[in-house]
A and B are shown apart, each in its own frame.
Chain A
Amino acid sequence: MELSSRAPASAAPLAHKGSIVVSGEVEPAWSSFTVTPAITRSTGVGPALHWMMPETDNSATGDGDSGGQERWSLLMVTQRLHRWNGAQYQANLWAGVGAGLLTTVPGNGNSRGNRSAWAPWAQADFETRRFYIGASTRLFQAADIGRLITSARAGLALTSADYNRWQPWLMLEARTMEGLQQGVEITPLLRVLHRRVLAEAGVSTSGSVRLNLTYTY
């Protein structure tokens, strides 16, 4: 089941040829807005904006750029490397890369302005009509600042898939965000999807509220 550059755990980051996937996600440490037009059935190219709020103590990353906000403005390429279509399942391998600018916004008087940035990522997922499992990793890198975000997700549909009805899912995500948060964050999410719309909401073990909305044009 969509990704703009940041895959809302199920769907593919990319929809059908000629489509445009628009996705927004909001949470305290990392928010994003991505637009992914599919120029072929397996390739998408589009802009992505990510806002990150690093933890005050970034000694683990050694970047010394504590506090403030980071804005990553990237042009992303999304590539479906392979899809396995079975009678009862779908599995995908995805990869991509973004290039653009990191803008740091002063939080501690240590602004460094703009610098070039790049962001490779990869994702694997497997899905049936009632079950989802997937993992992804993505790196945001700019000069001496690096953010490595790795996640694994599993999901169970509460109802059978029906093309004419909303389908609710319970998702569980484990995620590490090096440079943004310490430790492993666990987030249970409720997902609902129906044709062009996929929405998710959840609260992590650290108390962070997460909202995600994806729409396919």
Chain B
Amino acid sequence: MTFSQRLLPLVALVLASLSQGLALAGSPLYRISVNGMVCSFCAQGIEKRLKALPGTESVHIDLSKGMVVITARPGATLDPATLKKAVRDAGYEVRGIEGPSATSTGAPGTPN
């Protein structure tokens, strides 16, 4: 096996890792300020409805800030009106929606 043949799998692995990293970095974030979200027992309905949207990768809920952060699937966009309806159907009120913005290091993208 030549040196180039041995190097090829390593190069492929590095490229794949870079590609995945770039894809994640390109996942749009949406931040929704929600009124009335006071406990996890009620807020789980918001998570469930937002996760059911086809473009959603993950949902992070911060009860103390009344904030829901949605990471969209790479290349996907989420309609603000659809996000607002999902929150309303869960029984809550949207104060505002920000996004899409690019994923940044340390962004709350932890799947729940």
Contact = CB atoms under 8 A, between A and B. Distances in A.
A152 B40 CA distance: 23
B38 A1 contact: yes
Interface of B: 34-49, 61-64, 66, 88-93, 95, 112
B46 to A, nearest CB: 7
B38 A89 contact: yes
A129 B42 contact: no
B41 A194 contact: yes
16 contacts: A1-B41, A16-B45, A16-B91, A18-B89, A41-B88, A42-B91, A86-B35, A89-B36, A90-B37, A129-B38, A160-B64, A162-B64, A163-B62, A167-B40, A193-B41, A216-B44
Q: How large is the interface on A (under 10, 10 to 19, 20 to 34, 35 or more residues)?
A: 35 or more
Given A16-B48, A41-B89, A127-B39, 18 more contacts: A1-B38, A2-B41, A15-B45, A16-B45, A16-B49, A18-B49, A83-B91, A85-B34, A87-B95, A89-B38, A90-B38, A129-B63, A129-B64, A163-B62, A163-B112, A194-B41, A195-B41, A196-B41
Given A41-B90, A85-B92, A216-B44, A161 B39 contact: yes
B39 A193 contact: yes
Interface of A: 1-2, 10-12, 15-19, 41-42, 80, 83-90, 127-129, 160-165, 167, 193-198, 216
Contacts of B37: 90
> Chain A's interface: helix, strand, loop or mixed, by majority?
loop
Contacts of A160: 64
B64 A195 contact: no
Contact of B40 (A41, A88, A128, A161): A161
A88 B95 CA distance: 12
A120 B89 CA distance: 26
B93 A15 contact: no
A216 B38 CA distance: 17
A182 B64 CA distance: 42
B39 A1 contact: yes
B38 A161 contact: yes
Contacts of A163: 40, 43, 61-63, 112
Contact of A15 (B34, B38, B42, B62): B42
Task: Report which residue of B37, B40, B63, B92 has the largest number of chain A beta carbons within 10 angstroms of its beta carbon.
Answer: B40
Contact of B89 (A17, A86, A89, A197): A17
